[in-house]
Chain A
Amino acid sequence: MKSRHLSSRRLMAWSLLGFGLIIAPGCGLSSGLHREPDHVYSDTTPPMLQQQPGVQPLPARAHYPDENETMSATGSGAQPDGVVRLGGKQQPSTAGELSRTAIANSKSNAAKPSAQHSEFVLASYQPDDANSSHPGEPVFTQADPRLETGDKCFPRNQMETIAPAPLADLFPDEYVFDGGDRDLSAAMHTNRSGLDTEDTVAAFADHTGELRTTASNRVAVYAPRFGSVRTVTGLVADVKVDKAIGAKDNITVGNLKTGNAAQENVHDTSLSGLETRDRVDGMKGALPPMQNKRMEIAGQNRKVDEGHEGRDVKSPGIFHRKDGIEIAEQMQNAITWTRDQFPVITATTTNASEISARFKVQQKVGVKDERETRGNVRIVKLADRDEARPGDTITFTINFQNTGDFDVYDVSIVDNLTPRLAYVSGSAEIDEKHPGEVSVEPNGEGSEILTFKLDKPLKGHTGGTITFEAVVR
């Protein structure tokens, strides 16, 4: 009994030791872990967001749900090239009021394209206590832009949503969306591939000739619509139910199909019963396949061919006139080669001469092109209301801007409306500074595709405005 007690104690001690060995590395690892921040901030303006000289601010306003954590570009000395997510911090649930503010601002500014104060929101974030960071705290770096800013490394489908409530992304069936580039990325230069409903994209060519497509932000308008399906049951319907069970009649129809006499006959015919009988009757040797096989024996033909070969072998005994000439020539050659006069081969080598010249530029005449960043069209889409019922009219505003230094060419802005929106004919307008044309075509899903084409190249750091109206179905 005592020995058992001791052995149990020993077992417990070994267990504790093993447990300690198991957890010890884990403790060491956990103590050495450094959790990286999910989102990072920067207190410096990204190079792509630096304000360019001569920039004409657009009468548009992109916003983030928390208005208090964004900064206006007015007076800040910075011109945003994209909206940057303010990650790493829980957003307060006051987005409804904020977005309404944003919409109101957009409405007031949409009619003033030449406003002096830009309403673009600088999306980068500068924490209040940035200078008072203590050692050991996470280091904030630049956040990722959420709209394409001309760099290929950012996927275009990451789009900002302007919505009247923060739950728009969770319950998208309650909203009518327009803008952005959902699902597959739209490539307007390759037969409009990836252009889904709701998409709003800009297609253009930069100064290098590269064809590019950029997407706008996404606008959400609260406009739920309902439908219904109906069933009718009852006494009469019960009879119908019986008939539906008599859909077993359909099963009998299926049985007729499976019992199709034609198919059975075909199978019976295909059976080799007749052949068996033929074999029994000794008709096997007379079967055409057997005869054909014998007729196709290649040995006979081969023998005939060999006979021809034999004739060829014998053919040298027959001299034709033309053969005589050849034989005489061969005899002469044989005589020639029997002499000691070997043919002499001579060869000469001609050296090639190469002339090279090097020209030195003595003088440059012209103006140095100081443009550096290539052109990039950014479009911001806005709606004049955040709620709508069927029958209401929504005025959409698309602000486009070339955020690069170089001009962009063949600019076209395409908006594929969702089936819940119907374009109001003749309502599309482009500002006077950027003349162009508007084409409307059905999108095959009950709505329209609007294509705005600018007549002239869009110069660097310039922009314009497009407006159109749509009725909510």
Chain B
Amino acid sequence: MPIAHESSLRTAIITLAFLLTGPTAFAQSGAYYEPLNEKLPPGFTADIMARVRHDDMFWLQPVRVELPTAGTVSVYSATPVPIVTTSAPAQFSASTGHFYRLRIADMPEFPGEEIYPSIEILDRLHPPAGSAANYPIPVVLTEADLKEALSGRMVTRVIYLENPRSAAQKDPLRRNPRATLDPTDNALQEAGMYGRPMMIVRIGGRIPSGPNMPLSYFGSGGTVDPGDSVPAGSGVVKLSDRKRAVESLARGND
């Protein structure tokens, strides 16, 4: 009975959030109506898209987290204990249709600061067999993004797979990002115009208040693989290599 009650409550909350944020997307101009947007609760869009596409639930999509220079990256999945802690750039694999919480710390540009961004994996790649680890979804946290987050703002990036036929000459992910959208715009729909939305990255200044944080804050419970297929030299430290992980954390750099 409590489970049913919790389920109905969750459904009601999600429906309410959808109704509250839906008109914002509907009011904007566009070629089509996109009911989903980046302002929905973390995990909602990924869950909807996973149900629609019927993705392979056993597929783990490689993800690569890059920081301006160095730092440590911890990955949470519905548990207050990180599944993996490694030095940046960090690469791991996670199931699509879920969101995960990250902890970014030990950045030389921001000493003593830590932020907890979330990543929501919307879609997956289909690389040739054996090449999945060579093509992760890059999560590039720029110094400007981190400054905005530490100043109390919320930075939301929608990472999309670029359409090669309409590709820009420069790398749009790093050097030539698309213009920052208006907060009232639907970034998910805007990304859909340039390619296929793959991930929503939310970078905010919120810090867990303590052990009483709900588990839903740390993710929706997707599978995380620390990365057996991580290429050498990528900076990823496996959980089995705890000695190196501790050393990396101690140095704050690798």
Contacts and interface: CB of A to CB of B under 8 A. Distances in A.
Interface residues of B, number: 53
A426 to B, nearest CB: 20
B148 A232 contact: yes
Contacts of B178: 227-230
Interface in B161-200: 161-169, 171-173, 177-178, 180-185, 187, 190-191, 194-196, 198
A171 B195 CA distance: 11
Contacts of B166: 419
A97 B173 CA distance: 32
Contacts of B167: 225, 418-420, 446, 473
B125 A224 contact: yes
Contacts of A198: 165
Nearest to B186: A231
Given A231-B38, A473-B167, A224 B161 contact: yes
Interface stretch (B80-88, B111-119, B152-160, B211-219): B152-160
Contact of A387 (B128, B159, B171, B201): B128
A184 interface: no
Contact of B165 (A197, A231, A236, A390): A197
Interface string A432-473: 000000000000001000000000000000000000000001
Q: Which of A176, A226, A241, A473 has the most CB of B within 10 A?
A: A226
A279 to B, nearest CB: 51
Interface residues of A, number: 43
Contact of B153 (A173, A197, A223, A234): A234
In this complex, the member of A175, A228, A231, A473 whose beta carbon has the largest number of chain B beta carbons within 10 angstroms is: A228
A316 B67 CA distance: 113
A231 B140 CA distance: 15
A204 interface: no
Contacts of A241: 183-184
Interface string B198-234: 1001000000000000000000000000000000000
A354 B183 CA distance: 94
Contact of B187 (A197, A227, A231): A231
B127 A222 contact: yes
Contacts of A172: 164
A175 B162 CA distance: 10
Contact of A165 (B128, B163, B171, B177): B128
Interface string B141-156: 0000100100111111
Contacts of B140: 228
A331 interface: no
B124 to A, nearest CB: 10
A67 to B, nearest CB: 15
A170 B163 CA distance: 13
Nearest 7 pairs between A and B by C-beta?
A234-B153, A227-B172, A164-B128, A446-B169, A165-B128, A419-B167, A233-B154
